[in-house]
Amino acid sequence: MPDMDGFREANNYGFGQTSQFDNFHVKGASNLPWGMKDRLSRIFNPKTGRAVMLAFDHGFIMGPTSGLERIDLNIVPLVQYADCIMCTRGILQTSIPANINKPVCLRSDAGSTILTELNRNVLIDIEDAIRCNASALAVMFSAGDGDQEAITAANLVEAVDMGNRYGIPVMGVTAVGKQMARDSRYFALASRVCAENGASIVKTYYCDGFEKVAASCPVPVVIAGGKKLPEKEALELCYNAVNDGAAGVDMGRNVFQSESPAAMIQAVHAVVHEGLTPEQGFEMFKDLSK
């Protein structure tokens, strides 16, 4: 029992003032439990509401790919510039030092490769995700593609149920089904399905009409970078995406396959968080590349 001597009567109730916490900075997250919000806040900067996630989970379907041959040499030096890293548990445990102090969006589905192209409905154990201190679980969803749709939808729902049990948000990653065009109609559908099934973040692709994709998705949308582009075009992609409503990027190849990956991720960060134009971002990239 605290000592009551000198007890001061409470008198600062802020009557008439709206709580500053009523509008949580992550879209659609106001009603989530505290642990979920805490994890989302580690990913999305509370000042800007945005995130630069560094994706290097490609090896789990592609095997070694350019820029990811040696995670310890190529990726670890970039981690300091990212708000969050996205990778598999195998890479996390073998190649990422445990003292990086960055949130991890853990690739949590498994079993597919570019050779089989079928996700075998395998999710990692939620307890292992907790042991990895995951701040989010990333799970692919592929709409309109028969078996693939059913399997990935089941994965997504199971991941959300597991994540909800322990306060870990899920990021739905929209793959492009073979039958579907890469247009705003498809990405809006796939993103919305992810959110309606409980994903707290959606990762999708930028496209014409992207503002409709972002506006009709009730949770934050981050964009993948896709195949390597010239740096200025990749910065334009980031700029257009956030201006059209994306809450950031979850980018891989356009960072780690850049001529100067450290310069590129810093330029991407400045475009996403500081509103640099693509031209300003590209100047920054060139300066940092010297």
Residues forming the site for ligand 5RP (CB under 6 A): 55, 57-58, 86, 140, 173, 224-226, 250-254
Shortest Cβ distance from residue 52 to ligand 5RP (Å)?
A: 12
Give the whole-angstrom CA distance, residue 281 versus residue 287: 10
Whether 203 sits among the annotated catalytic residues: the reply is yes
Give the whole-angstrom CA distance, residue 106 versus residue 221: 17
The closest of 256, 262, 146, 248 to 201, measured between CA atoms, is 248
> Distance between alpha carbon 152 and the CA centroid of its chain, in Å?
18
Shortest Cβ distance from residue 275 to ligand 5RP (Å)?
A: 21
Shortest Cβ distance from residue 279 to ligand 5RP (Å)?
A: 22
The closest of 244, 233, 243, 247 to 278, measured between CA atoms, is 233
3-state helix, strand, coil in the chain (%, to 5): 40, 15, 45
Shortest Cβ distance from residue 256 to ligand 5RP (Å)?
A: 8
Q: Element (H or E) spanning 102, and its range?
A: none
Task: Rank residues 53 and 160 by Cβ distance to ligand 5RP and give the closer one.
Answer: 53
The CA distances from residue 149 to 109, 135, 174, 193, 230, in Å, are: 14, 26, 11, 11, 33
Token pair for 227: 């195949």
Task: Rank residues 26 and 86 by Cβ distance to ligand 5RP and give the closer one.
Answer: 86
Give the whole-angstrom CA distance, residue 60 versus residue 112: 8
Task: Rank residues 254 and 258 by Cβ distance to ligand 5RP and give the closer one.
Answer: 254
Give the whole-angstrom CA distance, residue 120 versus residue 213: 28
Task: Rank residues 37 and 186 by Cβ distance to ligand 5RP and give the closer one.
Answer: 186
For 130-200, strand residue ranges (E) read 136-142, 170-175
Task: Rank residues 148 and 254 by Cβ distance to ligand 5RP and give the closer one.
Answer: 254
Shortest Cβ distance from residue 22 to ligand 5RP (Å)?
A: 33
Task: Rank residues 37 and 273 by Cβ distance to ligand 5RP and give the closer one.
Answer: 273
Shortest Cβ distance from residue 91 to ligand 5RP (Å)?
A: 12
Q: Which of 37, 47, 178, 203 is catalytic?
A: 203
> Distance between alpha carbon 28 and the CA centroid of its chain, in Å?
15
Catalytic residue ranges: 203
